[in-house]
Amino acid sequence: MIDPKLSREDSMTVKDILAIVDTGDEDEQFLKDAREFARFHDAHLTVAILSAVPTPDYAMAYAQPYFLLADYVEAAEEKQAKVTRLGERDGFEVRVLSDESGALLDKAPVQARYADLVLFGPVDAYGNAHLRRRLFENIALSSGRPVIVLPAQWKPRSFAHLAIGWNATREATRALGDALKLVQSGAKIDVLVVDARSSTKGHGSEPGADIARNLSRHGFDVTVHALVSEGENQSAVLVDFARRHRADLLVIGASAHSRLRELFLGGVTHDLVDGAPIPVLLGN
């Protein structure tokens, strides 16, 4: 059992963080935010530059494939040199993954497994928004590691107030467990159940009550909130609650099951993938 008297430093288990960037030039703020996040948590930071090589089919869609490839090589080399200089100055590691986009989607989750936590910036911190989304989804659903999307210019602080979108699934349980590695002891936790129904296979007779009791036994200040979407996107309902109640972190579970994966990619978490006004942790 977790001792609720432990300090954040004593209970902290996240010590190895991987931040994902591409070859775009809009990520200066995210790199700064990632460095500050790692420093705050006394963790090692690795920045992975994911560089998608133009495929022949993609290149031939343009009139000048050789110029396109040359531009790619130049951009990749410039980005690597820039981030390497920052890493030498600020003490973080730099890795480069360069391949066709399909291969990158396979390689990225593997790299993520060797970190405790993966950081993404908001969508406007990337040169290739489509590739970012695909990478985010593959890492969140396939790596087995939690992913946090940081809003721009977010100032690191103790996670003293958590909001979790709770649907009583294995994925939500895993996401909550990942979040508790970061949370301050005795933190306030809002358990958010959206459009929830009683079920012997899920929520039980009172949605949210069982997980609230479990968390309370670990010394957390827990409140269950039954929310109704009324046709609104559930992610918007969760984000709005977390923002209005000034939560430090919103926690969501992500399912890799084929049917639920489609829902994940196209619905509930769409707004969360691009970036929310507060940090969002997705676990699987």
CATH number at residue 185: 3.40.50.620
- Does position 70 have pLDDT exceeding 60, yes or no? yes
- Does position 164 have pLDDT exceeding 80, yes or no? yes
Angle of the 28-40 helix axis to the 65-90 helix axis, nearest 10 = 30
Question: pLDDT-based confidence at 78, cuts 50/70/90?
Answer: confident
Considering 131, 149, 167, which residue would you say is the last residue of a domain? 149
| Contact between residue 48 and residue 21 where contact means Cβ atoms under 8 Å apart | yes
What pLDDT score was predicted for residue 67?
52
Question: Domain check: are 25 and 144 in the same one?
Answer: yes
| Rounded Cα distance, 1 and 13, in Å | 15
Which pairs from 228-232 meet CB under 8 Å and 24+ separation?
Answer: 228/194, 228/195, 229/194, 229/195
Question: Domain check: are 80 and 199 in the same one?
Answer: no
What average pLDDT does range 198-207 have in this prediction?
Answer: 76
Question: Domain check: are 165 and 252 in the same one?
Answer: yes
Question: Domain check: are 129 and 240 in the same one?
Answer: no
What pLDDT score was predicted for residue 198?
78
- Does position 136 have pLDDT exceeding 60, yes or no? yes
- Does position 264 have pLDDT exceeding 50, yes or no? no
> Residue 274 domain-assigned?
yes
| Rounded Cα distance, 47 and 34, in Å | 9
Q: What is the pTM of this model?
A: 0.85
> Residue 3 domain-assigned?
no
For residue 95, the enclosing domain spans 8-149
Question: Domain check: are 48 and 99 in the same one?
Answer: yes
Question: Domain check: are 107 and 211 in the same one?
Answer: no
Question: Domain check: are 120 and 164 in the same one?
Answer: no
Give the number of domains in the chain.
Answer: 2
| Contact between residue 240 and residue 116 where contact means Cβ atoms under 8 Å apart | no
Question: pLDDT-based confidence at 56, cuts 50/70/90?
Answer: low
Question: Domain check: are 142 and 15 in the same one?
Answer: yes
